[in-house]
C-alpha cells in the first residue's frame, strides 16, 4: 500500500464528505420540495452552474477513459475534442428555451416538458424510461474510476474485502445525497474541478519534461496511432467514424438526465448562455487530458514490471494511474487520485438524483399514485436515488465490467433517440406524438441491432451507399431513421385527421 498517497486521498475524501452534509444548510430551502432537493431551488448562478456542469459532464470515467482510448486506439480518441466544441453552440440555442418552458410550468424533467408539449403519456414514459436506463450504467462506470485508483493505491479490489472501499464510498455518497440533494454535488464540484485542473496542469509540464519534450513523445508513438485511417476509393474509413462520433456524442450529451437536471437548476436562461460560452475551457483541459494517453504510451509504462499486473487487470484504463505513480511523488499521487475519486462522486450524485426525478415525476406520480403531495414526491425521489446507487454498485460488484461497458455503449445510442421529442418539439408543431413514439421505437431497435451485430464491442457501424463504405456512429444512423419515421408518420396522421375533419364538416353541412 502506498501509505502517503492513501492518506492524502482519504483526507480529501473526508473533506468532501463534510462538505456534502454541510450543503444541506447552503442556500437554505425546504428540502422536502423536489424543486429544492432535486434542482437546488433553480437558483444556481453562473459560477456554481459552471462548476456543476463541468463536474457533471467531465467525470471520473472521462478522466480514465479518454486517455485510455488514446493509449489503446490512438487518434480516434481525440473525437472528444470536436464533440465538446460542437455541443456548446447547440446548447446555447436550445437549452435556454427548454429552461424557460420548465421554469414557467414547474417542470422538473425533460419528460415533463414532452408531456406538456404533446399531452402524450406514452411518449413521456418512453423518454423517462430511456433516460433512466441510459443513466444506470453511466453511474456504474463512475465506479471504474474509483476502483482503478483504489487498486493503484495498493489495495486488492477483488472479492468481498476488495469491494469494501467501493461500498463505503457509495454509502457516504448515498447519505449526503439523500440529505442535501443537488446542493451536495454542486458544492463538491468546485473542489473536484480545481483538483483536476491542478493535476492535469502539473502532468503536462512535468511528464513531457522528463520524457524529453513533446517532440520525443510524438516520435515514440506508432504512426498508425497518430493519424486516422484516411479515405480510399472504397471507404471513408476513420474520417467518417471520427466525424459521426463527434456529431452523435454532441447531440446526445445534454439529453442525458443528469445534464438536463444541471441545466434546470440554473437561475436563468442567460446563466445557461454564459455557461455555454465559458465551458469550452473544459475542452482545452480535455485536450491536455487526452495527451496523457500518448505520454503513457511513449513512456512504455505497460511494459514496466511493476505495472504489468495492473495493465492485465485493468487494461488501458490503468494508463493514467500508472503515469502519476511513475512520474510524481506519493503525496501528489494522492492529490491526483483524489481528483479522480471525487470526479466519480459528483456525477454519480447528479445522475442518481436525475434518475430519481424521472421515476418519481413521470412514472410513480402518473401510474402509481396520482394524488401525491409535494413532500411525498420528494420522499419517493430520495428513496429511488438510494436504489439507483445501489443498483449501480451491484453492476460492479456482482457483474463483469464488460456488461456495464456494453450498456453504456447502448445508452448513448438510446438516449439520442429522445432528441426529436425533446428538441425538435420545441421548434415545430408538425411532429405528432404518435410519429415521435414510433420513430423512437424504430430508432431504439435499429441502433440496438447495429450494436448487437458488432457483438457490443463497438458502436461504429458501416453502411454502404453507391459502392462506398461509410463507417459511422450507430447512434447517428439510428437517429436519422428515427427522424424519417417520425416525420413521415406525423404527416400521414395529420393528413388522415384533415380528411376526417373535412368529411365531418361536409356531413354537418358546413
Residue 77 in any domain: the answer is yes
Non-local CB neighbours of 441 within 8 Å, separated by 6+ positions: 126
Residue 407 in any domain: the answer is yes
Residue 233 in any domain: the answer is no
Residue 211 in any domain: the answer is no
Contact 414, 440 (CB under 8 A): no
Q: How many domains does the chain have?
A: 1
Residue 470 in any domain: the answer is no
Model confidence pLDDT, tens digit, residues 50-88: 888 887 777 777 788 888 888 988 888 888 888 888 889
Model confidence pLDDT, tens digit, residues 189-235: 888 888 888 888 899 999 999 998 999 999 988 888 888 888 887 88
Pull the grid cell for residue 453.
Answer: 451485430
**Tell me, what CATH number does 130's domain have?**
1.20.1730.10
Residue 353 in any domain: the answer is yes
Range of the domain at 320: 3-206+249-413
Q: Smallest Cα–Cα separation from 18: which of 172, 210, 194?
A: 172
Could you tell me if residue 228 is left (phi over 0), alpha (psi between -120 and 50 degrees) or otherwise beta?
beta
Of the ranges 1-5, 89-93, 332-336, which one carries the lowest mean pLDDT score?
Answer: 1-5
Residue 402 in any domain: the answer is yes
pTM, to two decimals: 0.90
Neighbours of 18 (CB within 10 A): 10
Neighbours of 376 (CB within 10 A): 16
Q: Residue 441: is its pLDDT beyond 90?
A: yes
Contact 131, 418 (CB under 8 A): yes
Q: Please write down the HEC assignment for all residues of 109-158.
A: CHHHHHHHHHCCHHHHHHHHHHHHHHHHHHHHHHHHHHHHHHHHCCCCCC
Of the ranges 33-42, 113-122, 372-381, 393-402, which one carries the lowest mean pLDDT score?
Answer: 393-402
Residue 296 in any domain: the answer is yes
- The average pLDDT across 232-259 equals 88
Residue with cell 414514459: 125
Determine the pLDDT at residue 508: 57
Amino acid at each position: 500500500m502506498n501509505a502517503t498517497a492513501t492518506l492524502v486521498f482519504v483526507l480529501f475524501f473526508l473533506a468532501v464528505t463534510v462538505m456534502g452534509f454541510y450543503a444541506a444548510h447552503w442556500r437554505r430551502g425546504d428540502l422536502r420540495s423536489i424543486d429544492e432537493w432535486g434542482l437546488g431551488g433553480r437558483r444556481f448562478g453562473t459560477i456554481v452552474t459552471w462548476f456543476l456542469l463541468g463536474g457533471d459532464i467531465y467525470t471520473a470515467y472521462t478522466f480514465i477513459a479518454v486517455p485510455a482510448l488514446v493509449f489503446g486506439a490512438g487518434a480516434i480518441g481525440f473525437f472528444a475534442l470536436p464533440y465538446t466544441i460542437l455541443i456548446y453552440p447547440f446548447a446555447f440555442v436550445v437549452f435556454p428555451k427548454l429552461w424557460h418552458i420548465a421554469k414557467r410550468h414547474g417542470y422538473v424533467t425533460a419528460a415533463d416538458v414532452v408531456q406538456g408539449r404533446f399531452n402524450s403519456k406514452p411518449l413521456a414514459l418512453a423518454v423517462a424510461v430511456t433516460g433512466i436506463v441510459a443513466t444506470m450504467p453511466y453511474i456504474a462506470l463512475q465506479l471504474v474510476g474509483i476502483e482503478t485508483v483504489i487498486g493503484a493505491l495498493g489495495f486488492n479490489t477483488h472479492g468481498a474485502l476488495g469491494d469494501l472501499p467501493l461500498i463505503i464510498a457509495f454509502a457516504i455518497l448515498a447519505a449526503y445525497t439523500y440529505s442535501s440533494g443537488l446542493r451536495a454535488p454542486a458544492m463538491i464540484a468546485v473542489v473536484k474541478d480545481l483538483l483536476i485542473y491542478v493535476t492535469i496542469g502539473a502532468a503536462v509540464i512535468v511528464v513531457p519534461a522528463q520524457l524529453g519534450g513533446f517532440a520525443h513523445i510524438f516520435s515514440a508513438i506508432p504512426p498508425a496511432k497518430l493519424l486516422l485511417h484516411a479515405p480510399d476509393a472504397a471507404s471513408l474509413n476513420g474520417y467518417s467514424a471520427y466525424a459521426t462520433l463527434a456529431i452523435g456524442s454532441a447531440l446526445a450529451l445534454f439529453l442525458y438526465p443528469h445534464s438536463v437536471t444541471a441545466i434546470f437548476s440554473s437561475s436563468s436562461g442567460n446563466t445557461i448562455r454564459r455557461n455555454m460560452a465559458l465551458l469550452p475551457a473544459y475542452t482545452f483541459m480535455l485536450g491536455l487530458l487526452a495527451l496523457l494517453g500518448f505520454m503513457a504510451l511513449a513512456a512504455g509504462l505497460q511494459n514496466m514490471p511493476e505495472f504489468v499486473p495492473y495493465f492485465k487487470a485493468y487494461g488501458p484504463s490503468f494508463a493514467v494511474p500508472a503515469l502519476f505513480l511513475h512520474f510524481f511523488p506519493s503525496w501528489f499521487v494522492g492529490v491526483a487520485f483524489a481528483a479522480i475519486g471525487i470526479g466519480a462522486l459528483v456525477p454519480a450524485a447528479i445522475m442518481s438524483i436525475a434518475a430519481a426525478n424521472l421515476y418519481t415525476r413521470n412514472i410513480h406520480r402518473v401510474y402509481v399514485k396520482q394524488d401525491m403531495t409535494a413532500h411525498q414526491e420528494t420522499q419517493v425521489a430520495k428513496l429511488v436515488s438510494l436504489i439507483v446507487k445501489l443498483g449501480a454498485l451491484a453492476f460492479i460488484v456482482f457483474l463483469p465490467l464488460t456488461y456495464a461497458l456494453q450498456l453504456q455503449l447502448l445508452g448513448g445510442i438510446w438516449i439520442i433517440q429522445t432528441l426529436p421529442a425533446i428538441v425538435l418539439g420545441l421548434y415545430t408543431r408538425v411532429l405528432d406524438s404518435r410519429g415521435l413514439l414510433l420513430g423512437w421505437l424504430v430508432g431504439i431497435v435499429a441502433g440496438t441491432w447495429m450494436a448487437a451485430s458488432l457483438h457490443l464491442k463497438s458502436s461504429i457501424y458501416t453502411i454502404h451507399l453507391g459502392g462506398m463504405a461509410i463507417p459511422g456512429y450507430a447512434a447517428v444512423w439510428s437517429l436519422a431513421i428515427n427522424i424519417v419515421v417520425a416525420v413521415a408518420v406525423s404527416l400521414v396522421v395529420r393528413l388522415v385527421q384533415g380528411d376526417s375533419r373535412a368529411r365531418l364538416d361536409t356531413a354537418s353541412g358546413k
